[in-house]
Amino acid sequence: MAFSFYMPDIGEGVVEGEIVAWKVKEGDRVGLDQPLVEVMTDKATVELPSPRAGTIVKINYRDGQICPVGQVLVVIDDGAGASASPAPAAPHTTGSPGNHGAAPRPAAPPAAPAAPAAAGAGTGAIQLVDATAARPRVLATPATRRLARQLGVELGQVQPTGTHGRVTTDDVRGHRASPSPAPDRPAAAYAPNTIAKAGDEERIPLRGMRKKIAESMARAVHTAAHFTYVEEIDMTELVAVRERAKARAAERGVKLTYLPFIVKAVVSGLKKWPQLNASLDETTQEIVRKKYYHIGIAAQGPNGLAVSVVREADRRSIFDLSREIDRLGEAVKAGTATREDLTGGTFTISSLGKLGGVLATPIINFPEVAIIGVHKIEERPAVRAGQIVARHLMNLSISVDHRIADGWDGAMFLQDVKALLEDPTTMFMEMV
């Protein structure tokens, strides 16, 4: 009998996935747990295994298309004599031997038009709406829907600004406060930009990792109120400390870079300036100060920019940080980084290493509050005790969400980081 495999709820807050590549085609025989398809969410790329052995009857979403959670992804004829109850299988994270962490919540099949089915509960939950219903499909949390009912606002009429077209509580309030446009004067909207052919060109579909990066950057710029502050750091003493420590690190199989030292200085600064290790809960209108320190490392990967996350950075030694940064970097390059490797950061460090340039204004890794840009270290002339001397200088730039933190917070935080990097002895005293 035909078995419908619904797009599973891959992770908290995930409402849809983009089909990256099918491993099978219609008519193929598949075994239980055989890889079916790679799906990309805003969290990570995962590989979905077959929940049944049988024959692929119909593939409903092709490469590059978006499949909402709870919709039929593929139909499999399992040869059973009776109808089987459809239930999504737990996904396997790309590059990992099996399922990591708790199994995701099973997604219910689409409900009848009169009674849309809900998945999850509480803040951050998602709502699945029958795609065949007469009403337009609207993504919104239960709290947002409740507010819309209280204010008498039709969600289908609200312009969404949240991720993946989600309607937020601010969208509802803004719609309620805005006068309705006159019938002969429709609300203004930006038309999609069309590029006419003007010569020899190559057209590449915007999808996969590049599309996720584009969506994330656009949301960050249009949501967070960015401001940037820059400071020059004298790294001369730290350069000497690293040179002395490289041999000891090599004995332990560690390739020692400057990043672990920068991570330690950043964590120390965040403990003094907790407003920068925070996020804004837009639903409850609360600033969430996080007392854990998961530091994101933004770097270029084979498929574009990726942010890997060093968890519990405050509890790790310099050597341990080096090992973890190396492990994450290799996983990103190989395409084997798990969802846990790429999510959950509280603050991000963006570094291009030797290509770091002189200055940049990094874009905040939303919904974090701040990001540091690390630039190249080079010998430059500096004035010390009235003398011009050669010093190893580096610029650090910090972008901060001005909605949550003030310029004072960002400047003082960077001054604390500067003091620790310029005097490594003080940094080691600060370590926990």
Q: How far is CA 223 from the centre of its chain?
A: 15
Q: How far apart are CA 296 and CA 346, in angstroms?
A: 7
Q: How far apart are CA 417 and CA 374, in angstroms?
A: 12
Rounded-to-10 torsion of CA 23, 27, 31, 33: 40
Q: Tell me the C-alpha to C-alpha distance, in Å, between residue 411 and each of 33, 180, 294, 420.
A: 53, 43, 21, 15
* 300 bridge partner residues: 305
Please indicate whether residue 402 is annotated as part of the active site.
yes
Which residue out of 406, 409, 416, 423 is catalytically annotated?
A: 406
* 400 bridge partner residues: 227, 370
Q: How far apart are CA 217 and CA 264, in angstroms?
A: 27
In eight-state DSSP terms, residue 252 is T
Question: Among candidates 62, 10, 364, 331, which has minimal Cα distance to 220?
Answer: 364
Structure tokens at 123: 């803040």
* 35 bridge partner residues: 49
CB 48 within 8 A of CB 89: yes
Tokens 């079916």 -> residue: 36
Q: How far apart are CA 185 and CA 338, in angstroms?
A: 49
Which residue out of 92, 164, 392, 402 is catalytically annotated?
A: 402
Tokens 């009429």 -> residue: 157
Q: Taking the CB of residue 253, how many other CB atoms lie within 10 A of it? A: 10
Q: Which residues contact 281 (CB under 8 A, 6 or more apart)?
A: 123, 287, 288
Q: How far apart are CA 419 and CA 10, in angstroms?
A: 43
Q: How far apart are CA 401 and CA 227, in angstroms?
A: 7
CB 295 within 8 A of CB 348: yes
Active-site residues, by number, are: 402, 406
